[in-house]
Each structure stands twice: as C-alpha cells, then as structure tokens.
Amino acid sequence: MEGIAIMTSGGDAAGMNPAVKFCVEYAKKRGLKPFLIRNGLRGLIDDDIKVAERSDVSGILHRGGTVLRSSRSKRFFEDKYRLQAYENLQKHGINKLIVIGGDGSFTALNRFYNEYKVPFAGIPATIDNDIPGTDYCLGVDTALNVIRESIDSIRDTALSFSRAFVIETMGRNCGYLAMTSALSSGAEICIAPELDHDLDSIGERLKKDVEGGRDYIMAVVAEGSNMAGELTHWIKDNLNMDARLTVLGHVQRGGSPTVRDRVMAYNYAVQAVESLLAGNTNQIMTFRDGSYGTAPIDIINTKCIVDPNIVELASHLAV
C-alpha cells in the first residue's frame, strides 16, 4: 500500500483535529496507508512517525488544538536535517504528505518538495484567515465564536460600570477577525489594517451618542493595526470615559471546533487526498466563492485580500 503521512504545523487552530481524523479515514477508504507525524517539522526530522491506527483518531473530533501537536523548527532549514527528514519518509514507505497549517508550513514543505520531490497537499488552518487564494481557513469560525462570547461577556461589565472597552483580536496583519467580530457584536469602533480610520470623526460621532444617552462603548481592534493601547488612551482623553483594554490573546485559538469548522475539515481532507491521487504535487486546498478547489503553492507569495464586502460593511465603524 502507498504511504501517505498527515502532520500539523505552525500555530494551532480548532479544526485541525477533525482534519487529521478525516484525512486518515478517507486515505484508508482510497486504499492508502496513512501515517501520523507528531510535533510538526520537528517530528519529521526526529522520525516521530507512526502508522495511523483507529485509536489515534477516535474521540478527537470535538477537541480543539492538535493532538498531533505542533512546532516551529529552525533545523528544518538546514540541509542535513531536511535530508534526514527525507530518509525517515523513505524508511516508512511514505511518498505523499498532507500538511495542515499556514503559509510558513506550506513554504517549508514546498522547499522540501523542490529538493526531494515528495508531493504534498496543504490544508489551510489558521485563525488569521490570511492564506491567499482561499476565503476560509480552518479555525476561523471557532475563533469568531470565542471572540463573540468574550465580547458579549465584556459588554455586561461595560454596561454595569458605564465604561469603554477596547478588545484586541489576533490576525497578524489581517483584520478579518476584528472586522467580522465588530460587525457581529455591534461594536461602535473598529480599527483594522484594511480600514482608513479617522479618530477626529469617530470622536464627533461618539460625543453625540454620549450626549444622547450612550453610557458604554465597545471597540474592536486588530492586532496588526498596533492601535489598541493608543485607542484606549484616546477614549479616556477625548470622550471623558473610563476605558479598559482587553487583549484576548491565545484564548482565540482554543475551543471545541464549531460545526462549520468540522464540515470544512471534512471537505478539505477529501480534497487533499484526491489532489495527491490525481498527481498534483504542491497544491493548497481552497474554498472560493462557495466552491472547493486547489491553488498552486505560488499563491502564498501574493497578498491576502479580505472580502471587500466585509471591509465596506465595517468602514463606518472607523470614521
């Protein structure tokens, strides 16, 4: 039987475990022998590789994070360690890879492919939703629901004490989480890299609201804007309101995968296996305009563009 290995790499995201489970099960269905690589690129180098048994993927569908664990490995970018990784795969009879991760993981595996011709399929999994070529990455919906629940809880305190709260979301340089969360939570302010903000205009708008009886303010800020601290002080100084900053941080990566993330994981898993069986060598699985497909690895070198409709809908919160 032809060997195919599944690994998770880079930052963890809810949806990785369902993807691992579905990749193993579908690979078996298609007559392949699935293997699991633990600890990401480090496990590839250290031969932390084993045949996937039913017990390895049983009961993991509902779990957040990645049961295979993950790592970032500087060693993988040294020639001798990539050779070691290749020899490990050869020893196990593995000639196909599925990597569940983000752009850094795909770049590393593409370099590996260029040297040793081990084909791979990439399943996008990052809460930042910043992989070019696809509208959706695993973990995003779960992260949005965690953020939504956090903002709803913070609003209770904001209302109780007549305060302003600034909530910083993850996303690196992509403002998808911030803008979508601001829209779904009814925030009064949103600052994101994709939005041209005007604090003077925001101030004039909110002063009228406060004079009209508004006694709390919710602001959502993308980490890539580097504006969370500045906005908190600005609210205190310009709106004469007690303002607090809440950085949600890594809580956004956790949680049981939502229905959407589980279904997306299944579809991506089927795509990945079928892509490799079709002879593709280094494709990223995509979901674009409601349809599943693949994109060449070169797509990760292009700029990720957030859905213009979301940017337009959120633009009024930045002025």
Q: Residue 206 in contact with residue 215, Cβ under 8 Å? A: no
DSSP state string for 150-172: HHHHHHHHHHHHT-EEEEEE--T
What is the per-residue pLDDT for 139? 98
- Give every residue of the chain whose pLDDT is below 70, as ranges: none
Distance in angstroms (rounded) separating the CA atoms of residues 33 and 1: 6
Over residues 285-316, the pLDDT tens digits come to 999 999 999 999 999 999 999 999 999 999 99
Q: Could you tell me which CATH number the domain at 141-253 has?
A: 3.40.50.460
What is the per-residue pLDDT for 71? 85
H, E, C per residue of 285-309: EEEECCEEEEEEHHHHHCCCCCCHH
Over residues 54-93, the pLDDT tens digits come to 999 999 999 999 999 998 889 999 999 999 999 999 999 9
pTM strictly above 0.75: yes
What fold is seen in the domain 3-139+257-301? Rossmann fold (3.40.50)
Residue extents of the structural domains in the chain: 3-139+257-301, 141-253
What is the per-residue pLDDT for 73? 87
Whether 141 is catalytic: no
Active-site residue identified among 103, 128, 130, 261? 128
Question: What angle is formed at CA 49 by the lines to CA 46 and CA 50, rounded to 5 degrees?
Answer: 155
